[in-house]
Amino acid sequence: MKPTLDSRQLHAFAALARRGSFTLAAKDLFLTQSAVSHAIKALESDLGTRLLDRVGRRVLLTQAGEQFLRHTEKILREMEAARAGLETLTKWGHGRLRVGASTTACQHILPTVLREFRQSYPKCVIRVEPGDHGQQVELLRGGHIDLAIVLEPPAPVGSELVFVPLFQDELRFLVAPMHSWAKLGRVPREAIESETLVLYNKSSQTFRLVAEYFREEKILLSNTIELGSMEAIKELVKIGLGAGVFAPWIARAEIESGSLVSLPLGARKLTRHWGVAHRKGRRLALAEETFVGLCQSATETLGLSEPRAVA
């Protein structure tokens, strides 16, 4: 394998091509004329071709030199961009943040967090990747996002990630106020199998938790409607097309207005643990640590966080 091109030789070649004179190029680079001449000879030797023709005091590019100059200019621009990018990261408020979150988190948690984050990091480039739990975990593992607001990953996937807890919620039945369960004030166990259940899509972690719960309860889910939007699920439930299974905090406004009624799934609760995940062994930047802290504060404000133990 041939050695990597020397950046000092590239700078000398670009200056010489621009100025057409060893004397002027040396002046621009704050070098001696001999040093520039030596750099060009070494570069031509390394490339195995002549890049310049010397006509009197003038220097002209050969055909190979013209072609190589285009590559040289591109390389030097990339080097300058790399340096500028690193310098930008050292300035307060600059950098980038790549976050993954479910559509529910995007709607109910992220707006508050990003508003506060933007005040501290006004120049930070923020990218949000919406998607379900499984998608977020894969994006984290592949290094395509930095942080993800997700449900706690099961083993063995969870062993690859650091999970910072945010809050715990409970999945419950949500029905329209005219539904028979709402009028009764409870859910008869024997009525669940015959009811249409409106559930979040089958590929989601939430669906798997719900299916596992009812399987353990020996209740067969034979009549379901699957949707990829919690908002759509709420609308179907409100018009009486079935009973939804999701967390009440997602429908807080509807429950307070009386357009939805929340009822327990059964004697045993079905809970989920939410948090911010990142790859294990990766040291978080200050901006990322700030984002995690803001997520914790936002979920406390929303009344979602679990009470913290008092020492």
Confidence of residue 253 (pLDDT cuts 50, 70, 90): very high
**Max Cα-Cα span within the chain:** 102
Using one digit for the tens of pLDDT, what is the confidence trace for 144-186? 899 999 999 877 666 789 999 999 999 999 999 999 999 999 9
**In CATH terms, are 96-166+273-301 and 168-271 the same topology?**
yes
- Determine what percent of the chain is predicted with pLDDT higher than 90: 48
Dump pLDDT digits (tens) for 97-122.
999 998 888 988 999 999 999 988 88
- Pick from 26-40, 82-96, 296-310: least confident: 82-96
Section 86-107 average pLDDT: 73
d(CA 110, CA 136) in angstroms, rounded, equals: 15
**Is the pLDDT confidence value at 1 over 70?**
no
The pLDDT, as a whole number, for residue 101 is 92
**Topology adopted by domain 96-166+273-301:** D-Maltodextrin-Binding Protein; domain 2 (3.40.190)
**Segment 58-84 mean pLDDT:** 85
Burial state string for 27-51 with b = 16 or more CB within 10 A and e = fewer than 16: ebbebeeeebbebbeebbeebeeeb
pLDDT of residue 92: 47
Confidence band for 310, pLDDT divided at 50, 70 and 90 = very low
**Predicted local distance difference test score (pLDDT) of residue 89:** 54
Task: Read off the pLDDT band of 307 (50, 70, 90).
Answer: very low
Q: What are the domain boundaries of the chain?
A: 7-83, 96-166+273-301, 168-271
What mean pLDDT do residues 219-239 have?
Answer: 91
CATH architecture, range 7-83: Orthogonal Bundle (1.10)
Q: Look at residue 67 in the predicted model and tell me its pLDDT.
A: 92
* pLDDT value, residue 99: 95
According to CATH, the topology of domain 168-271 is D-Maltodextrin-Binding Protein; domain 2 (3.40.190)
pLDDT at 2 over 80: no
